[in-house]
Amino acid sequence: MPLCARCTAIYASYILLPLFYFAPKNLFTLGLSIFLQLPMLIDGLTQRWGLRESNNVLRVITGILSGIGQCLFIWFMSYMIIQILK
């Protein structure tokens, strides 16, 4: 497979981006989008440092969380740019 399990989950979660248009505007924040990146960061760094071995299930879970966090970041920044341009 050309993509790892984590990358596949990240790309698959990008499908959720259009759904955030219908979500309440005050539900998502920049902090939440950054917070959702932490599980992938912790998983990747602890694996890189040799503290433990990751598995595909954990990679998919952290990839989905990271992809959702990236979608929230894109949504949040787009919303802020639109507000500034109005």
Span 7-21, average pLDDT: 88
CB atoms within 10 A of CB 40: 22
Which residue is listed with tokens 């894109």?
74
Q: Is residue 61 scored above 90 in pLDDT?
A: yes
Residue pair 34/80 in contact (Cβ under 8 Å)? The answer is no
CA distances (Å), origin 7, targets 11, 30, 43, 65, 72: 6, 22, 13, 11, 17
Which pLDDT tens digit goes with each residue over 22-43? 877 777 788 999 999 999 999 9
Tell me the average pLDDT of the chain. Answer: 89
Report domain extents, the chain: 5-12+27-85
Angle subtended at Cα 54 by Cα 45 and Cα 11, rounded to the nearest 5 degrees: 80
